[in-house]
Amino acid sequence: MATNLNSHIWEPWMFRAINLASLAEGQTSPNPLVGAVILDEKNRLVGEGFHLRSGEPHAEIGAIEQAGSLAKGGTLLVNLEPCCHRGKTPPCTDAILRSGIKRVVVAIQDPDQRVSGKGIAFLKESGIEVVTGILEKEAAFLNRAFIFRNRTGRPWGTLKWAMSFDGRIGLSNGKSKWISGEKSRKRVHSLRAKNDAVIVGGGTVRSDNPLLTTRGIADIEPLRVVCSSTLDLPKEAQLWNTELAKTLIFYGPESDARCLENLPSGPERLCLEENTPIKVMEALAQRGCNQVLWECGSSLATKAIQQNCVQELSLFLSPKLLGGVSAMTPLADFGFSSMEQVFKLKEVSSNKSGEDFVLNMLFDNYG
């Protein structure tokens, strides 16, 4: 809840800060998405900014620099608590004090334990009025991946698949190109651009030979991840060309590492103590990934869901009927014996993409 009875005054400007923050989606990891707006004493816009990527100035700094002397006596609105520690950049709280800003309006507290409430406390102790809880729900949803990684130690996982109206992702003979339309395929490129890594299994590499890039949409292509239990991978594959994007191969101690000698030297290789979705996600979190996209086959997708490595679904539903009892389906058997055991989902959005329908859904208990 907001701590200010005049919260309605700040909501339109906080919307602006949130929208600014979203402009850098997919670029800021391991940092959060942050936008900032500065109003003068008469609540007129005098400065704004957003954090573009790790190592570059935070949103508050950009807004303060733009506002200049007009920030004095004004109000700063930011969708995440200002930092009070020195990382790759100096503390934002120090810059706020120097600017002469008299009020800071914050949507949510930073989940990072280096900050978490300390930035707000420092500002209050320094005599600055602090208003919290403005558009808290919207701000939390924008940074759901950053919040989730700080809380659980693994990235937010989104599972994507394209399927027919009768729930098939391919024919009985394995043919699956193309279920979705061209517009939807381009939309997948944009979806990848919002993620830090894209994960597939060895079976997908063997059957589809995917490229897994954004086709130039992202300034920095997401890390392409291959999870292989056997390392029975083709000697030639588009993923082995690391000039376009980096590739990382995860495998376990049970795999025959000699198979890697047949592959080009470009992809990074990493043996995990246990080659499971949750260990893969923990390793990616340690590399600073906030959000990853699963584009894998049914077996790996099922394991990822079972190990709580998928929090969101992005489904492309094509108006086609494939039929066939043995046709390919997006998930394997969960082993449920009653309807009380099934996973429950809640809708985030639904819209059209050409002839296709796109559904974005969250797991009911995604933590």
Contact 225, 284 (CB under 8 A): yes
The encoded tokens of residue 80 equal 């995440």
Q: What is the mean pLDDT of residues 265-294?
A: 95
Is the model more confident about 108 or about 114?
108
Q: What is the mean pLDDT of residues 39-59?
A: 93
Number of compact structural domains in the chain: 2
Distance in angstroms (rounded) separating the CA atoms of residues 186 and 353: 10
The encoded tokens of residue 90 equal 């100096």
Contact 164, 43 (CB under 8 A): no
pLDDT at 366: 59
**pLDDT score of 2 more than 70:** no
pLDDT at 221: 94
Side-chain-facing half-sphere of 75: CA atoms under 13 Å = 18
- Assess whether the previous peptide bond of 178 is cis (omega < 30° from 0): yes
Q: Render pLDDT for 299-317 as a digit per residue (tens, 0 to 9).
A: 999 999 999 999 999 999 9
Instruction: Tell me which residue of 350, 290, 2, 7 sits closest to 143, measured CA to CA.
Output: 290
Question: Which residues are the active-site residues?
Answer: 60
Distance in angstroms (rounded) separating the CA atoms of residues 152 and 242: 30
Is the model more confident about 141 or about 175?
141
pLDDT at 1: 46
- The reply, when asked if residue 206 is annotated as ligand binding, is no
pLDDT tier, 6 (very low <50, low <70, confident <90, very high otherwise): low
Question: Read out DSSP for 47-63?
Answer: EEEE--STTSPPHHHHH
Same domain? For 175 and 252 the reply is yes
Same domain? For 191 and 279 the reply is yes
**pLDDT score of 4 more than 60:** no
Give the CATH number of the domain where residue 194 resides. 3.40.430.10
pLDDT at 81: 94
Q: Which residue has the tokens 């944009």?
A: 190
Instruction: Give the whole-number percent of the chain exceeding pLDDT 90.
Output: 71
Same domain? For 276 and 355 the reply is yes
- The reply, when asked if residue 13 is annotated as ligand binding, is no
Same domain? For 165 and 223 the reply is yes
Distance in angstroms (rounded) separating the CA atoms of residues 316 and 140: 26
Distance in angstroms (rounded) separating the CA atoms of residues 249 and 268: 6
**pLDDT score of 3 more than 60:** no
Instruction: Tell me which residue of 315, 277, 278 sits closest to 299, measured CA to CA.
Output: 277
pLDDT tier, 138 (very low <50, low <70, confident <90, very high otherwise): very high
Same domain? For 58 and 180 the reply is no
- Name 21's Cβ contacts closer than 8 Å, sequence gap at least 6: 33, 34, 35, 50, 51, 59, 79, 80, 142, 143
Contact 335, 305 (CB under 8 A): no
- The reply, when asked if residue 192 is annotated as ligand binding, is yes
Give the CATH number of the domain where residue 138 resides. 3.40.140.10
Q: What is the mean pLDDT of residues 244-259?
A: 92
The encoded tokens of residue 48 equal 């704004």
Same domain? For 319 and 218 the reply is yes
Q: Which of 118, 142, 166 lies at the terminal end of a domain, its last residue?
A: 142
Tell me the average pLDDT of the chain: 91
- The reply, when asked if residue 178 is annotated as ligand binding, is yes
Q: What is the mean pLDDT of residues 152-171?
A: 92
Distance in angstroms (rounded) separating the CA atoms of residues 344 and 363: 6
Same domain? For 163 and 126 the reply is no
Indicate whether 127 belongs to any domain: yes
Alpha carbon 161 to chain centroid distance?
A: 17
- The reply, when asked if residue 338 is annotated as ligand binding, is no
pLDDT at 87: 67
Same domain? For 217 and 237 the reply is yes
Q: Which of 111, 142, 173 lies at the terminal end of a domain, its last residue?
A: 142
**pLDDT score of 238 more than 90:** yes
Q: Which of 142, 161, 177 lies at the terminal end of a domain, its last residue?
A: 142
The encoded tokens of residue 26 equal 């997919």
Q: Which domain holds residue 267?
A: 151-363
Instruction: Enumerate the β-bridge partners of residue 356.
Output: 353
Same domain? For 317 and 170 the reply is yes
Indicate whether 164 belongs to any domain: yes
Instruction: Tell me which residue of 132, 123, 102, 131 sits closest to 41, measured CA to CA.
Output: 102
Indicate whether 252 belongs to any domain: yes
**pLDDT score of 57 more than 80:** yes
